[in-house]
Amino acid sequence: MDKGKLIVLDGLDGCGKSTQFQELQQLLRSEGKPVKAISFPMYDKPSAALVKMYLQGDFSSTPGGVNAYAASSFYATDRYANYKLDWEQNYRSGEWVLASRYTTSNAIHQMSKLPPEQWDSYLAWLEDYEYDKLGLPRPDLVLFLSLPLELSQQLLVKRYHGDASKKDIHEADLAYLVQCTKAAAYAGEKLGWHCIPCSDGSRLYPIPQIRDSLRQTIREVLGC
């Protein structure tokens, strides 16, 4: 049987990614699609130990205090371990794999630590490292949930019920998130991601509207 489809859903923290991830997998399954849903980092697995240490500030209290390439390796190792142990056979047997975050998240969160003149070389390194060296599958489609930072911050406040101490070092650093927004726009354009607007600029679109936009893009790009 031919390999399956790898569809990646990504976006900045607070964009509603978890909600849309659940909505989309339920919709695809209701259509009879064989869907394996995975979400990175896999915090409940040993492979995410370094990711958890990084996000809780063990190495540095700020994202910029950890080398972009080192932090990228933390996440890539988690992906590799769980590909081999959890979903490689699903993918190879023809199932659809729907991933919340993937190599794309390194392009957003780690590339932003570097000066823009190094972004092209970082993206080349990242794709060679994760796809060629580690052998992880390349996505058939990347869906990027686009939401202004002001609105995503409002959603994060609701997520943590106003308790800012619950934010990880990414979520707590507004200047860093501004850079991530710029990095995401650059990587998306460079790598051919499909941007899905989640608001009109001031108000969030209804959850079903965003979900249907995601599904329509899948049909248009993958023909199924």
**Domain topology for 5-218:** Rossmann fold (3.40.50)
Q: Is the separation of the CB atoms in 99 and 6 below 8 Å?
A: yes
Coil vs helix vs strand at 29: helix
What is the helix (H) or strand (E) element at residue 55, kind and residue range?
helix 49-55
The confidence band for 140, taking pLDDT boundaries of 50, 70 and 90, is very high
Classify burial at 112, counting beta carbons within 10 Å of its beta carbon; exposed 0-12, middle 13-18, buried 19 or more. Answer: buried
Instruction: Report pLDDT for 169.
Output: 63
Report domain extents, the chain: 5-218
Sheet with 5-11, side-by-side order of all strands: 35-39, 96-100, 5-11, 141-146, 194-197
The predicted-structure confidence for 58-67, as pLDDT tens digits, reads as follows 999 998 899 9
**Contacts for 170 with CB less than 8 Å, ≥ 6 apart:** 13, 55, 63, 109, 176, 177, 180
Q: Could you tell me what percent of the chain has a pLDDT over 70?
A: 90
Task: Report how far residue 195's alpha carbon sits from residue 221's, in angstroms, rounded to the nearest whole number.
Answer: 13
pLDDT at residue 139 tops 60: yes
The confidence band for 13, taking pLDDT boundaries of 50, 70 and 90, is confident
Instruction: Report pLDDT for 84.
Output: 97
User: Alpha-carbon torsion 121, 83, 98, 224, what sign?
Assistant: positive
pTM: 0.90
The predicted-structure confidence for 96-138, as pLDDT tens digits, reads as follows 999 999 999 999 999 999 999 999 999 999 999 999 999 999 9
The confidence band for 3, taking pLDDT boundaries of 50, 70 and 90, is confident
Task: Report how far residue 155's alpha carbon sits from residue 133's, in angstroms, rounded to the nearest whole number.
Answer: 37
Instruction: Report pLDDT for 168.
Output: 60
β-strands 5-11, 141-146: how paired? parallel
Residue ranges of the alpha helices (H) in 60-148?
68-82, 88-92, 103-109, 119-127
* Closest to 126 (Cα-Cα) out of 143, 107, 100, 108: 107
Higher pLDDT, 162 or 41: 41
pLDDT, averaged across the chain: 91
The residue assigned the tokens 């200047």 is 175
Coil vs helix vs strand at 142: strand
pLDDT at residue 21 tops 60: yes
The confidence band for 5, taking pLDDT boundaries of 50, 70 and 90, is very high
The predicted-structure confidence for 171-203, as pLDDT tens digits, reads as follows 666 788 889 999 999 999 999 999 999 999 889
Task: Report how far residue 186's alpha carbon sits from residue 93's, in angstroms, rounded to the nearest whole number.
Answer: 34
Instruction: Report pLDDT for 53.
Output: 96
